[in-house]
Amino acid sequence: MFKGSFTALITPFKDGKVDHETFQDLVRRQLDAGTQGLVPVGTTGESPTLSHEEHMRVTELCIEAVQGKVPVIAGTGSNSTEEAIGLQRHAKAAGADAGLVVTPYYNKPTQAGLFAHYTAIADAVDLPLIIYNIPGRSVIDMSVETMARLARHENIVGVKDATADLVRPLATRLACGADFCQMSGEDATVVPFLAQGGHGCISVTANIAPEDCARLHLAWQAGDLALVAEINERLLPVHDAMFCEASPGPVKYAAVLMGLCAGELRLPLVEITESSKKKVKDALIGAGLLG
């Protein structure tokens, strides 16, 4: 069972190329901060604009740097089923603990198509698979009923839920069982998500506040609700700022302010506006993340 704070890692670029050394430095920083798991080459890692070779290499770099200390859930999704199978196969060969497979974007499959897509991947590769349900970006929403059917497959073990529907985790728990792993994909709603049956969060904010995100989950697991509330309230403006423009634009600018990496993005994403930069900087200062 995956649980706690998992970081949806950004992919640093230098002169248009993946900055391997800085990426592994970011991974080691996460380990030092107590992050409970890592997710390379998800959409926060700009996977749609990475070549297949870059995508696979970043997965390998993460696993190399982690050295088995925490679970690695590699992004392996695509709107092509065959491509997703290929990425899932590579994740298994590289030593990932699971693959994160986003619902197919643009194709707009029916619920029957979603069921067939995920079943084909799970049948082809003997590696735990996490469904990534994010209707805000992929347009389609996997129903609880479809997820319950998929949860019967031994390789389909959980969901990253970015619906922001706080009834969903409880409904999913009832339909899929308590052992079906539920990770929030929405930082700002993580506490009520946990209260409704969730197990953790695959977080954007954890790129820049890994200690606080990890402490929040440890406090939740220990029943220290006062500490949960304190961290949650302090980080809310940061969560909000991280999505003031298309992610990962804001979090990469935050990383620049904190001296973690360059802020390069790949088109069609561009540098965030001056007003957004101010919002990000003010949020970091307010949360005590920046002097």
**Strand, coil or helix: what is 139?**
coil
Angle at 156 between CA 152 and CA 157, to 5 degrees: 100
pLDDT in tens, 193-213: 999 999 999 999 999 999 999
Q: Using a pLDDT cut of 90, give the percent of the chain over it.
A: 99
Strands (E), the chain: 4-8, 13-14, 17-18, 37-39, 73-75, 98-102, 129-133, 156-161, 181-184, 200-203
Partners of 107 in the β-ladder: none
Per-residue pLDDT tens digits for 246-257:
999 999 999 999
Q: Is the pLDDT of residue 135 over 90?
A: yes
The 10s digit of each residue's pLDDT in 43-87 is 999 999 999 999 999 999 999 999 999 999 999 999 999 999 999
pLDDT above 90: residue 1: no
Whole-number Å distance between alpha carbons of 118 and 81: 8
User: Is residue 39's pLDDT more than 90?
Assistant: yes
Q: CA-to-CA distance for 103 and 96, rounded, in angstroms?
A: 20
Q: What mean pLDDT do residues 252-263 have?
A: 97
Please answer whether residues 243 and 250 qualify as being in contact, where contact means their C-beta atoms are separated by less than 8 angstroms: yes
- pLDDT for 161 equals 98
pLDDT value at 3 more than 90 = yes
Average pLDDT over residues 85-91: 98
Q: What is the pLDDT of residues 144-188, one digit of tens each?
A: 999 999 999 999 999 999 999 999 999 999 999 999 999 999 999
- Annotated catalytic residues are 132, 160
> Is residue 262 very low, low, confident or very high in pLDDT (cuts 50, 70, 90)?
very high
C-beta separation of 37 from 4 below 8 A: yes
Give the whole-number percent of the chain exceeding pLDDT 70. 100
Residue 103 DSSP code = P
Beta bridge pairs of residue 202: 6
Q: What tokens does 6 get?
A: 């998992």
* pLDDT at res. 23: 98
- The per-residue pLDDT for range 230-251, each reduced to its tens digit, is 999 999 999 999 999 999 999 9
Residue 291 is predicted with a pLDDT of 86
Q: Are 273 and 39 in contact (CB under 8 A)?
A: no
d(CA 8, CA 12): 13
Q: Which domains does the chain have, with CATH numbers?
A: 4-222 (3.20.20.70)
